């Protein structure tokens, strides 16, 4: 397929993942703060900084600090200067979809566009002002709907796999980043009872609380929750699951594209996955988990860049140089 179309596919659901994660984080944060478990500032600051938007926030709201939930929600949802706001992620996603309307199914486009109109023509804003919880729930439901339409209305060939690779890698990134800030934000001196609620709230961000509790061998501790979110093979937001499924899509793409050699990005992904799969879970979690997660984020980010190089740009540079040489 045309390289820039493949690139647009790769990005399409990366935005979707970000939108959903932001909505889930905000809803869960509200509920958790209301229980007086954390101060406003302790809760919102790491979320605003999650995707590196702290500087922009500070520039816009200068001295107002991080302790104001209205500002935080405004910034994360509507702020046009914040490239990661739900509004902007949506805008990018729709622009992206518009450029590949002939590639994605009409059903997917219609649903995506309908969602955009809901957000921008007043209805969404009205619900936001009336009740924030329902607003974010609506967003979460719509992201799920879009994924459902995607799975059920498109032929599973190259475009499909590029969308899937983007979605899975972005999801792995989001899981790793959130796990990292929640581990850093957890004050260990707090009571056992608080700890249970804290980790339960983290699981709820990934809608993983019910799945987690169904595994009797896990308990609500930092170790078990980390293990679940990193290693649980059966859970679609666990990092290892996402990497595996990205890799499956990769191998299909290799077949479609008909390249004999593995691309650099595929090799990097496969190595990363192997290392994760065969490491000692216990020492991974108990010794330097923060550092491991930071490295993981970096490596996945690098793979995403390498994909651009392997599929969307580099080949042409080489081809051009070959021709002109």
Partner 1 sequence: MVQYDEGSVGQLSGIFSEYRLLENTYDELFESSGCPRAVVEDLIYSLDSVSPDQFESYQEIANYILRKNGTTFTVYSEQGNMDKIFPFDLIPRVISAKEWQKIERGLIQRVNALNIFLTDIYGEQRILKEKVIPLEHVLASAGYFESLRHIHPLGDTRINVAGIDLIRRCDGEFLVLEDNLRVPSGVSYVLENRLTLKNTLPRVFQQNKIRSVDDYPTKFIEALRSLHPQQENMAVILTPGPYNSAYFEHGFLARKMGCHLAEGNDLCVEQDKVFIKTTRGLKQVDIIYSRVNDEWLDPEVFRKDSLLGVKGLVKAYAARNVILANALGNGVADDKAIYPFVPAMIRYYLNEEPILSQVETYLASDAKQREYILKNLDQLVVKTVDAAGGYGMLFGPSASSVEKKEFEEKIKKNPRAYIAQPIMELSTCPTWTDKEMKPRRVDLRPYIVRGKETWVLPGGLSRVALVEGSYVVNSSQGGGSKDTWVLMDE
CA 32 – CA 322 distance, rounded (Å): 58
Spell out the long-range contacts of 316-321 with Cβ–Cβ below 8 A and sequence spacing 24 or more. Answer: 316/3
CB of 201 to partner 1, least distance (A): 8
Our CB check for partner 1 shows the closer of 9 and 76 to be 76
Q: Which is nearer to partner 1, 58 or 69 (CB)?
A: 69
What is the smallest separation between the CB atom of 200 and partner 1, expressed in angstroms?
7
**Minimum separation from the CB atom of position 35 to partner 1 (A):** 4
For partner 1, what does the binding mask look like between residues 155 and 194, x meaning CB under 8 A? --------------------------------------x-
* Binding-site string for partner 1 from residue 213 to residue 232, where x marks contact by CB under 8 A and - marks none: xxxxx--x------------
- Selected from 81, 106, 110, 131, the binder of partner 1 by CB under 8 A is 131
- 34 vs 323 by CB, closer to partner 1: 34
Q: Least Å distance between CB 44 and partner 1?
A: 13
Burial annotation 64-96 (CB, 10 A radius, 16+ → b, else e): eebeebebbbbbbbbbeebebbbbbbbbbbbeb
Please give the Cα distance from 45 to 76 (Å, whole number): 11
Name the residue nearer to partner 1 (CB basis): 73 or 276. Answer: 73
Q: Say whether residue 282 binds partner 1 (CB under 8 A).
A: no
Residues 11-40 that bind partner 1 (CB under 8 A): 30-31, 33-37
- Tokens representing residue 324 in the block: 């002109």
Which CB, 139 or 247, lies closer to partner 1? 139
Candidates 66, 109, 160, 212; binder of partner 1 (CB under 8 A) is: 212
CA-to-CA distance for 28 and 178, rounded, in angstroms? 12
Among 114, 117, 133, 271, binds partner 1 (CB under 8 A): 133
C-alpha distances out from residue 260 to 107, 197, 243, 255, 320, Å:
35, 50, 22, 8, 21
CA–CA separation, 113 vs 258, rounded Å?
Answer: 34
Tell me the backbone φ, ψ of residue 239, rounded to 5 degrees. Answer: -60, -45
| Segment near partner 1 (CB under 8 A); pick from 45-53, 132-140, 262-270, 313-321 | 132-140
Residue 51 or 143: the one with the smaller Cβ distance to partner 1 is 143
> In the complex, what is the shortest distance from the CB of residue 37 to partner 1, in angstroms, rounded to a whole number?
7
**CA dihedral over 86, 87, 93, 96, signed as positive or negative:** negative
* DSSP per position, 86-100: HHHHHHHHHHHHHHT
134 contacts partner 1 (rule: CB under 8 A): yes
> Between residue 191 and residue 210, which ones bind partner 1 under the rule CB under 8 A?
193, 196-197, 200, 209-210
**Minimum CB–partner distance for residue 132 and partner 1 (Å):** 7
DSSP assignment of 216-282 equals TT--SSHHHHHHHHHH-TT-TTSHHHHHHHHHHHHHHHHHHHT-SSPPHHHHHHHHHHHHHHHS-HH
Smaller CB separation from partner 1, 56 or 140: 140
Task: Please give the size of the binding site for partner 1, defined by CB under 8 A.
Answer: 25
DSSP state of 316: H
Residues that bind partner 1 (CB under 8 A): 30-31, 33-37, 130-134, 193, 196-197, 200, 209-210, 212-217, 220
């Amino acid at each position: 397929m045309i390289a820039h179309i493949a690139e647009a596919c790769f990005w399409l659901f990366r935005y979707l993942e970000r939108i959903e994660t932001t909505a889930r984080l905000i809803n869960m944060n509200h509920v958790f703060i209301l229980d007086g478990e954390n101060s406003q500032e302790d809760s919102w600051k790491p979320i605003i900084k999650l995707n590196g938007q702290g500087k922009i926030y500070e520039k816009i709201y200068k001295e107002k600090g991080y302790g104001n939930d209205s500002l935080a929600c405004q910034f994360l949802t509507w702020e046009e200067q914040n490239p990661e706001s739900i509004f902007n992620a949506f805008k990018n996603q729709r622009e992206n979809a518009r450029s590949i309307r002939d590639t994605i199914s009409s059903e997917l486009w219609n649903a995506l566009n309908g969602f955009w109109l809901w957000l921008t023509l007043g209805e969404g804003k009205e619900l936001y002002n009336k009740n924030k919880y329902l607003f974010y729930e609506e967003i979460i439901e719509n992201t799920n709907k879009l994924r459902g339409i995607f799975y059920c209305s498109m032929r599973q060939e190259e475009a499909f796999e590029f969308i899937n690779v983007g979605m899975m890698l972005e999801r792995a990134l989001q899981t790793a980043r959130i796990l990292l800030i929640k581990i850093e934000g957890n004050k260990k001196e707090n009571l056992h009872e608080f700890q249970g609620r804290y980790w339960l709230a983290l699981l709820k961000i990934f809608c993983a609380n019910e799945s987690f509790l169904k595994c009797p061998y896990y308990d609500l501790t930092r170790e078990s929750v980390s293990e679940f979110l990193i290693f649980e093979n059966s859970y679609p937001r666990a990092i290892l699951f996402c990497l595996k499924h990205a890799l499956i899509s990769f191998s299909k793409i290799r077949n479609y594209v008909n390249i004999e050699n593995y691309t650099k990005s595929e090799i990097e992904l496969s190595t990363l996955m192997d290392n994760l799969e065969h490491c000692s879970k216990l020492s991974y979690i108990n010794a330097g988990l923060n550092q491991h997660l930071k490295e993981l984020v970096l490596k996945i980010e690098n793979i995403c860049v390498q994909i651009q190089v392997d599929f969307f740009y580099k080949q042409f540079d080489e081809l051009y140089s070959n021709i002109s040489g």
